[in-house]
Copies of this chain bind each other. A is one copy, B any other.
Amino acid sequence: MAHLQSNSYGKQRVRLTKVLRGNAPDGSPLHEVQEYTIQIMLHGDFEAIYTHGDNANCGPTDTMKNTVYAIARQTSFDSPEDFGLALSARFIDRFPQVHAADVQIAMSRWKRIEVHGQAHPFAFVKEHGQRTAAVTRRRTTGPSNLSVAGGVSGLEVFKSSGSAFGGFFRDEFTTLPDTDERILATTVDAVWNYLSTPGLASGEISFNEAWETSLQTITEVFATHDSPSLQATLYLMGEEMLKRSPAISDVSFTMPNQHHILFDLTPFELDNPDEIYYGTDSPFGIITGTVARQ
């Protein structure tokens, strides 16, 4: 009567910190820190685990956790995408029952603390916004057996001008007036896929450079676009990212519209010349879209 239609299992919030204890040219210590929070989801020949209590094909999630730390020790990598490539390969290589391994990584952005104007060799302060990466590796052969994505999440931006919203569809429940000057505030979540090329897995792409370019593009377009809607700003961000980053095939955005509304001061006989706003926590608009290369 019942059957298992789909399934997957894995490990979440595996927290890895790798410290690269290198040296500056003068021989003094110069450290790099890689701090990743990792989620692994496996797909495969797991049906009997669910339907017959047969664990023969069940690699424990505890083993997945151990694998993160062992692979981190055995492998050199300089980006979360590179680590995702190494980690996903392990599961496809050593777990014959696994058909696909999906690795998602959230990276803390550690920036060197400045002391007397000098970047400190091993002390860091966090930067706003998380970098993310996702690698899905499948057992099939051919170009579609590997997907690599970069991303940013939790990037809060705000502009006090250059945003309008008017000429929209109205029905009898519409009370919102047109405005040609509003605050635009959002928290950018973006995920971009890299083009599936033969060299994708072998270091042909500098994921770190691509990430910096994406971040720069997103904030620049947000700042400079004379926005008729958050939707239009989203599209332009995506279009510009594809223009600047030839290695990216498409980018998806999820952006809340974090409303800031003029406070009505007329009961107090005060004017409000686009100056005093209140932010609302709920409800909020939510805008999504995927911009892809033709």
Residues of A within 8 A of B (CB): 1-21, 29, 31, 33, 35, 39, 41, 46, 49-63, 65-67, 69-70, 72-74, 94-95, 97, 108, 110, 113-116, 120, 122-129, 155-162, 165-176, 183, 219-220, 222-224, 228-229, 231-232, 234-235, 238-239, 242-243, 250, 256-257, 260, 263, 265, 267-268, 270, 272-294
Give the CA-CA distance A54 to B169 in the complex, in Å: 10
In the complex, the count of this chain's copies comes to 4
Further pairs besides A61-B284, A70-B268: 14, Cβ < 8 Å: A2-B293, A7-B290, A10-B286, A11-B283, A14-B283, A29-B161, A50-B289, A51-B232, A62-B176, A66-B175, A113-B223, A123-B219, A123-B223, A125-B158
A282 in contact with B284 given A67-B173, A72-B276, A113-B220 (CB within 8 Å): no
Contacts of A126 on B, CB cut-off 8 Å? 128-129, 155-158
Give the CA-CA distance A166 to B283 in the complex, in Å: 29
Which of B16, B166, B232 is the one whose CB lies under 8 Å from A276?
B16
Contacts of A292 on B, CB cut-off 8 Å? 2-5
Contacts of A239 on B, CB cut-off 8 Å? 1-2
Contacts of A228 on B, CB cut-off 8 Å? 53, 55
The A interface, classified by DSSP as helix, strand, loop or mixed, is: mixed
A285 in contact with B11 given A49-B231, A124-B158 (CB within 8 Å): yes
Nearest CB in chain B: distance from A193 CB, A: 11
Contacts of A287 on B, CB cut-off 8 Å? 9
Closest to A240 in B: B2
- Do residues A286 and B12 form an inter-chain contact, with CB atoms below 8 A? yes
Give the CA-CA distance A54 to B167 in the complex, in Å: 8
Residue in A108, A161, A165 whose Cβ sees the most chain B Cβ within 10 Å:
A161
Give the CA-CA distance A29 to B274 in the complex, in Å: 14
Give the CA-CA distance A162 to B283 in the complex, in Å: 28
Nearest CB in chain B: distance from A160 CB, A: 4
- Do residues A113 and B222 form an inter-chain contact, with CB atoms below 8 A? yes
Closest to A256 in B: B12
Contacts of A110 on B, CB cut-off 8 Å? 158
- Do residues A11 and B286 form an inter-chain contact, with CB atoms below 8 A? yes
- Do residues B55 and A4 form an inter-chain contact, with CB atoms below 8 A? no
Closest to A265 in B: B73
Nearest CB in chain B: distance from A107 CB, A: 13
